Amino acid sequence: MDQSFKTIIEPFRIHSVEPLRMTSESERAAAIEFAGFNLFNLHAQDVLIDLLTDSGTGAMSRDQWAAIQHGDESYAGSPSWFRFEAAVKEFFPFRHVIPTHQGRAAEKILFSTVGGAGRIVPNNTHFDTTRANVEASGAEARDLLIAEGHDASALHPFKGNMDLDALESLLKERRDDVPVVFLTITNNSGGGQPVSLGNIRSVSELCHHYDVPFFLDACRFAENAWFIHEREEGQSGRQIPDIVREIASLADGMTMSAKKDPFGNIGGWLAMNDDVLAEKCRNLLILTEGFPTYGGLAGRDLEALAQGLKEAVHPDYLRYRIRSTAYLGEALDKAGVPVVKPIGGHAVYIDAKTLLAHIPPLQYPGQALSVALYTVGGIRSVEIGTVMFGRQPDGSEKPAAMELVRLAIPRRTYTQSHVDYVIEVVTAVAKDAASLPGYRMTHEPPSLRHFTAQFEPL
């Protein structure tokens, strides 16, 4: 692309469209009340711009739809499996690749195998399903993010980095209780912030020094590699696939949700070098997901992912992807809306603690903002704060480290005018933020409460 022009355009044109359904503010107010003020509970057709998640919601390419026609649905040894396996190993050459229907299935299998009471699994920040799967095994999920990562406004190029001193002291004291060290790239729960190659190297060295396996939660590996390319000294001359392969070479395995960077509507995998662990995991896979050459997926899904992986690392795409997320974040910042900075890769995170300072954390300021964005403008976001993380394994409730509202950007799905509309709505809601009420939970399920909890305004 000619770098002398400043406008970074979508590196695609639209081939097939889906209608959006317009609704009125009073219809939306009724819909959200009916949904128990939980945005997960809305009918998606009542949502205008759906920024709930970037997971499984991206637009597949012409070439992915074409690949789907090559799907071979043989139970065992399908050619689609071998294409998928080769595409994964092109970037992540682990000895064993175990396909799953999505990321959490890979987590469930791994932590059922290596977790258990008395164990600790450190991570920069566990995503909600990762934390829940670690805890479901009886183990403790411990977040060891650098201090800057907890400060919404601290400007640090790699706010997803692991706190190396904290990791080392944990490994020094409790090495035998740590079955695996995880690193989430990019750090979703902490604002979509990248981890530097230098930090990944250091985590790898520490793990190998203490002889503990090092795994990546690599859903957004391509976006993370782009940030390394853009921000890390000595990396700008490298190709994205080379950076990805170096990251993979530093780890002993990975869990993956292929619903993110690889442009899948469904899919995931677990990969590792350890033969003994792989055999245990495959045995569980057969119990819960399927035969090891399809996991929880159809042959056509494997084909779509093999093609999507190739598209995920294209520099024109990644430049557009990261720039278009920053476009939204920078506009909100300019309008005085507090956002996590620097802007992350797949989403913009509004700092609801600052914007709704009148609402205490246990009255869920992030939920209050999410409900208002929907009611006023039909935008669906997600709370990443005390609703998601407040309930502790011992039954107590405590405020989360941050109260964020995430506007996640589905890949290749919305245009710049959709984003301009979002900017207008968020700015209007933010101006009126002091009038928004807090919330109380009227129904709370025993785990992962944010998905199905019911609320009422105070």
Residues that bind ligand F0G (CB under 6 A): 53, 55, 102-104, 127, 129-130, 184, 188, 217, 219, 257, 259, 268
Cβ proximity to ligand F0G: between 78 and 130 the closer is 130
Give 191 or 377: the residue with its C-beta nearer to ligand F0G.
191
Of 160 and 179, CB closest to ligand F0G: 160
Of all residues in the shown chain, the one whose CB is closest to ligand F0G is: 103
Shortest approach of ligand F0G to residue 111 CB, angstroms? 12
CB of 176 to ligand F0G, least distance (A): 26
State the nearest-atom distance from the C-beta of 129 to ligand F0G, in Å. Answer: 5
Nearer to ligand F0G, 35 or 388 (CB): 388
Of the pair 113, 130, the CB lying nearest ligand F0G is at 130
The CB-of-346 to ligand F0G minimum distance in angstroms stands at 8
CB of 437 to ligand F0G, least distance (A): 26
Cβ proximity to ligand F0G: between 159 and 259 the closer is 259
Phi-psi region of 56 (alpha: psi -120 to 50; beta: other; left: phi over 0): left
CB of 7 to ligand F0G, least distance (A): 29
In the complex, minimum distance from the CB of residue 226 to ligand F0G, in angstroms, rounded to a whole number = 17
CB-wise, 130 or 204, nearer to ligand F0G? Answer: 130
